Amino acid sequence: MSTKSKDISTPNTEPLHNIGDLWNDFSQNTGFHGVNKLSGITNRHKIRLLLWTCFILSCGIYLIVTVVEEINNYYRYPTTMTQYTKPENEIEFPSVTVCNLNSLNKSAIKNDPRIDNYYFSISPFRGLLNITTNWSDPIYEQEGFYLNRTLEDVMTDEKHIIDPGGFLVYAIFHLSYLDVRKYFKVKLTYMGPCLTSNPDMKIKTNHAGSDFHLTLMLDLDNANNYYGRSFGEGLQFQVHDSKEDPIFDGNSGFYVEPGKEVFASVHRCNCLPYTHNRKYYRIISEQEVFGDEPDETKNKIRDSASGC
Ligand SMILES: *[C@@H]1O[C@H](CO)[C@@H](O)[C@H](O)[C@H]1NC(C)=O
Ligand SMILES: *[C@@H]1O[C@H](CO)[C@@H](O)[C@H](O)[C@H]1NC(C)=O
Ligand SMILES: *[C@@H]1O[C@H](CO)[C@@H](O)[C@H](O)[C@H]1NC(C)=O
Ligand SMILES: *[C@@H]1O[C@H](CO)[C@@H](O)[C@H](O)[C@H]1NC(C)=O
């Protein structure tokens, strides 16, 4: 037993005299596979030794190249993207906002020159005459100009435009009547109360093309038009994404005269590709005289979305 253990431990304990011995010792004891074939300890053919050397060297080079490549790849912080196509059979119908350009109700305003002066001073023609309002006059207080009103109070007052008999007579979608109070709500703009198709109750459609989509019948009640014809009357329409706030800057949307029927179609266009996941609409409208009566006060819009 002692002789055996002496045999094995001999190479480790004896001092190593030269590089050859050191290599032989290392190649026989290392854990690297194949390295033991590279020592001259055994009587192997030189060709075999050469082949093993080539093989192990090329494996080593391959290992180093792979590791360097992986490290380089890691420090480039590559991004992995997965692209897929999701077919959508339905698209969300865009929101429609309608404003009456002349929403002041003559019957609801006291007939008094001082009150008229005030409304003139806030009208589009205010630049023509220099009219100042005498706020110390008690009539303004009597008429409720000084009431402390919150936004809720104003909204409550304006609710009537979606009430039956109000501004919005009916709304039809896919040839069936919509619950007006569910799908529309009042939106305040500087033009007064406007109607907007409710962004919380999204209307979806699976029809493309010129099918009947949204049809609105609107009653302008021209008899109660405070400013009258000279100040402009009619409707302004805006078709927009339900997440967007419509901007009425005078040129946006399209204008509908009283007594006209307007057909508007919406085209989705890729105006700004590669930006964000937003929809852009182009509105095309054409007007037609509606009805025979010259004092027809109703407006009608048919809005249709078309696929592209
Ligand atoms: C205007 O006011 C009168 C009287 O208050 C009312 O009958 C009419 O419906 C109102 N018109 C509109 C468009 O609100
Ligand atoms: C309008 O009239 C008031 C006096 O009534 C005057 O102080 C003011 O400068 C005038 N404004 C213009 C724009 O003429
Ligand atoms: C404004 O109205 C008050 C109360 O009616 C009156 O005393 C005052 O003279 C008026 N001021 C002007 C500039 O008209
Ligand atoms: C309106 O509110 C203000 C402050 O909240 C108060 O000073 C004023 O008296 C109120 N006016 C009326 C008419 O209630």
Checking if the pLDDT of 306 tops 70, the result is no
For residues 201-228, give the mean pLDDT: 79
Tokens of 190: 């500087």
Which pLDDT score is estimated for 106? 84
Which pLDDT score is estimated for 57? 92
Single-letter amino acid code for the residue at 230: S
Q: Please give the distance, rounded to the nearest whole angstrom, from the Cα atom of residue 146 to the centre of ligand 4.
A: 8
Higher pLDDT, 239 or 64: 64
Which pLDDT score is estimated for 294? 33
Q: Is the CB of 148 under 6 A from ligand 4?
A: yes
CA distance 108 to 84: 58
Checking if the pLDDT of 117 tops 70, the result is yes
Single-letter amino acid code for the residue at 180: V
Which pLDDT score is estimated for 204? 83
Which pLDDT score is estimated for 276? 47
pLDDT tens, residue by residue, 46-60:
888 889 889 989 999
Under 8 Å between Cβ of 287 and 262: yes
Checking if the pLDDT of 30 tops 50, the result is yes
Best mutation site among 133, 136, 145 for ligand 3, i.e. most ligand atoms within 8 A of its Cβ? 136
Quickly tell me which residue has 């100009």 as its tokens: 145
Which pLDDT score is estimated for 76? 92
142 alpha carbon, closest ligand: 4
Q: Whose CA is nearest to atom 4 of ligand 1?
A: 107
Q: Please give the distance, rounded to the nearest whole angstrom, from the Cα atom of residue 101 to the centre of ligand 2.
A: 28
User: Would you identify the CATH topology of the domain 91-109+160-287?
Assistant: Acid-sensing ion channels like fold (2.60.470)
Residue 4's pLDDT band, with cuts at 50, 70 and 90, is very low
Best mutation site among 137, 139, 140, 142 for ligand 3, i.e. most ligand atoms within 8 A of its Cβ? 137
Closest CA to 239 of 250, 247, 231: 247
Closest CA to 281 of 248, 252, 251, 250: 252
Q: Is pTM, for the whole model, over 0.85?
A: no
What does the angle CA 180 – CA 182 – CA 185 come to, to the nearest 5 degrees?
75
Under 8 Å between Cβ of 286 and 262: yes
Who lines ligand 3 at CB under 6 A? 134, 136-137
pLDDT tens, residue by residue, 134-189:
899 999 988 888 888 888 888 888 888 888 878 888 888 888 898 888 888 888 88
Which pLDDT score is estimated for 41? 65
Mean pLDDT over the full length of the chain: 77
Which pLDDT score is estimated for 228? 78
Closest CA to 196 of 261, 243, 133, 144: 243
Tokens of 292: 């025979």
* All structural domains of the chain with their residue ranges: 19-76, 91-109+160-287
Give the bridge partners for 188, in sequence order. 193
